[in-house]
Amino acid sequence: MNAIFTTPPRLFDVTALFPQLAPLARTATRLHPRPGSPTVHDSSVGGPLLWPADEPWPHCVEPHDSEAADEMHSPDEIRILRRIHAAAAERRLRDPQAPAITPEEREIEQRLREGHPWFDGPIPMIPVAQLYARDVPLPASPPGADLLQVLWCPCDHEEFAHPRTALFWRSSASVTDVLEAPPEPPVIQFDWYLPEPCLLAPEQITEYPSPLELSKELQQQLGDVNLWETAGFAWDSTGALDPQEFYFRNLCHAPGWKTGGWTRWGLTDPMPRPCPECGTETTPLLTIASSEWNSGSKSWMPDEERTSPTPLLIGTPPSNFTLLDIAGAYSLQLHVCPASPEHPHIELVQ
């Protein structure tokens, strides 16, 4: 939690040109996960949880999708493969003529790449995120809770091509005896469902709604080239095809891991997200992202990363520090009921 990452000021003050957006502003907290060695007392992605020793560890008992079962590995095997890749990348950085893989590494990799047969039965869930309220604002948290723990099943499900998540709210002070050795799943369907342990560097920013959530009138104004030209801002110099795309990429909401803020629509049009229990419209809680930015959203890259980039393994997608992939480079957004966070939450891939 010692690192600091600073999102650059937006390229344009959009509320100066469109004051209707000002009352729609929301605060989001970018988590900025970066590889580290978190403990149970840290806010983290993929780190150990402050889990009570006397509380059963959650297991997934739902049917799983057995497609690509031959790619399944144990968590330890995935960690070994990652260490091999990291060692190879470091070796090549020191000496570009060094072998990309040693005979010993090749033998291990070939053996592990054989995978495991499909596993039927309850699967222990794995930690995805642990967020302390002292570090990260937690929208709609229940009274007395200062800790959110997110776990997921590391296998696809027949109706969802992404892991199913479980949320646990608790008071950290109530946990006196911590579970020392949580169970791990015997297999993980895809290696990109095992988060790389990361520490966080939370940063609050301001977000605005997706253009798809704005009124038709405001959408038309956002797309009016003449208004932007009058304001003197060359949006077309940013690589965007039109002003609405520029707004979507650079002004309305940040990519990457975050809490709060606005929903990042794009894969689908906006849709109602009522609480399954009481019908109250749910609110964004946590975004689990495949990357922190991409080629179309580099304006969100922190200032510190521009001058001293965090090292990435060769072959790793740029800015994918957690090594996760959601449905092919999308994000998994978790929404909770503001009336009662204990109600079932909603999962949304966008």
DSSP assignment string, 124-175: E-EEEEEEETTTS--TTPPTT--EEEEEE-SS-BTTBSS--EEEEEE-GGG-
Q: How confident is the model at residue 144 (pLDDT cuts 50, 70, 90)?
A: very high
pLDDT per residue as tens digits for the range 168-198: 999 999 999 999 999 999 999 889 999 999 9
Q: Do the strands 26-30 and 258-260 form a parallel or antiparallel pair, or are they unpaired?
A: antiparallel
Angle, CA of 224, 296 and 4, to the nearest 5°? 115
Per-residue confidence (pLDDT) for residue 95, from 0 to 100: 84
What is the Rg, in whole angstroms, of the alpha carbon atoms belonging to the chain?
A: 21
Cα–Cα distance for residue pair 207/252, rounded to 1 Å: 5
B/e letters for 181-215, b = 16+ CB within 10 Å, e = fewer, are ebebbebbbbbbbbbbbbbbbbbebebbbbbebbe
Q: Do the strands 198-199 and 258-260 form a parallel or antiparallel pair, or are they unpaired?
A: unpaired
Token pair of 126 as six digits? 């794995």
Q: Look up residue 126 and give its amino acid.
A: I
Q: How confident is the model at residue 331 (pLDDT cuts 50, 70, 90)?
A: very high
Judged against a pLDDT cut of 70, whether residue 152 lies above it is answered with yes
Q: Average pLDDT for residues 48-77, to the nearest whole number? A: 86
Token pair of 337 as six digits? 């009921």
Cα–Cα distance for residue pair 35/244, rounded to 1 Å: 34
Q: How confident is the model at residue 88 (pLDDT cuts 50, 70, 90)?
A: confident
Cβ–Cβ < 8 Å for 346, 334: yes
Per-residue confidence (pLDDT) for residue 71, from 0 to 100: 67
Per-residue confidence (pLDDT) for residue 100, from 0 to 100: 82
B/e letters for 27-46, b = 16+ CB within 10 Å, e = fewer, are ebbbbbbbbbebebebbbbb
Q: Is the pTM of this model over 0.85?
A: yes
Q: What is the phi/psi pair of residue 104, to 5°?
A: -65, -40
